[in-house]
Structures are given as structure tokens and as C-alpha cells.
Amino acid sequence: MLPLETDLDRISFLSKKREAENFRFRAFLKGKDDYKIDLLVHVINKAVEGQIDCTLYGNCCKILRPCVTSNEIDTLSKIDQVSRELFIARFTEKEAYEEYLFLKDTPCKYLVSKKCSVYDSRPKDCKSFPHIHKKDFNSRTLSMVECYGICPIVFNVMELLKIEYGFG
């Protein structure tokens, strides 16, 4: 495997520089077999995730807002020692076209020195990020392009996927 890029400033810079390329790659993938893409992405992701410790970065917590379920709101409101109603009013919001509640502040209120202060109780959306391990990668390529400049795992998986497909 090639050396991985983990410098967040460089990843951000390359994301801007390669934005058009990444959208072309996204369109290129739409013409490929979804099952084969999933197999390849999952192999690449496993190798990349094994080499990158997300807790060293916390970049997703600085920029993204996770979706929270009703049970997660109950858990987080207990951690914060506030009522469920107050937690919802103060710390969540609904997106215009979404039915879900999201934590509303960035960086996340639970981010402390690049680490999640409620790590064991963090929302499922956080635990699952960057969602590369899930099926149907090709249906999430827009979010992958959006997270390419944020997450070292997404960045490296996408770059290695381009190499595998001889794209570029």
C-alpha cells in the first residue's frame, strides 16, 4: 500500500485542488458495478482504517453535525444533566428537508482536545463515520466527495480507489 496522507492542512488543500476531478470520479463510478465497488472499497477501507487513528484528528467533530436519535438524546441529556426538552431546544436542530434532529453546534460540544468526551456514548452517526464500511458506496459518493477534504480515511480511500480504477 502507498503511504497515506494524514496531514489535515494538505488534505484540505488537495481537496480544493481536486474538486473537479473528484466530481468526475464520482460520475465515473456511477457507470461501474455497485457490488464490485463495494468489495473493493471495503478492502481498501479496512487497510486504511487500520493505519489511521481517528482520535488523533477530531476533524469530523469540528466540521460535521451528527444526526441524533431519540434514545441518544435521552443518553446525552442525562450526561449533560438537563431535561430532554431542554437538551432538544438548546443543542439540536432540524434541517429544512430532514426528519431527523442534528446536534447543532460546530465544533461539537463534546469535542475536547481532538477527542470525544462522551466517546462510549457518542451517537451512532459518529460511531459509523465515515460510513465507508456500509453497503452501497456508490449511493454515497456525494457525501464522500464532501468529506474528502475533512477525513483522512475518506481522502485515502478515494485516492486508492482512483488508482485501482486507473482514473486520472
- Of residues 107, 162, 157, the one with CA closest to residue 133: 157
- Which three three-digit cell numbers place residue 149? 477534504
pLDDT of amino acid 1: 65
The β-bridge partners of 101 are 68, 94
Nearest to 157 by CA among 49, 69, 70, 8: 49
Per-residue DSSP letters for 70-103?
Answer: HHHHHHHHHHHTS-HHHHHHHHEEE-TT-SSEEE
Q: Do you find a cis peptide bond into 123, omega within 30 degrees of 0?
A: no
Q: Would you state the cell numbers that stand for residue 41, as one nine-digit string? A: 472499497
Q: Determine the pLDDT at residue 50.
A: 93
Q: Please tell me the predicted confidence (pLDDT) of residue 130.
A: 96
pLDDT at 98: 73
- Compute CA 137 distance to the chain's CA centroid, rounded to the nearest angstrom: 13
pLDDT per residue rounded down to tens, the chain (168 residues): 678 999 999 999 999 999 999 999 999 999 999 999 999 999 999 999 999 998 889 999 999 999 999 999 999 999 999 999 999 999 999 987 778 899 999 999 999 988 999 999 999 999 999 999 999 999 999 999 999 999 999 999 999 999 999 997
Element housing 157 (H / E): helix 152-164
Q: Which residues contact 54 (CB under 8 A, 6 or more apart)?
A: 60, 153
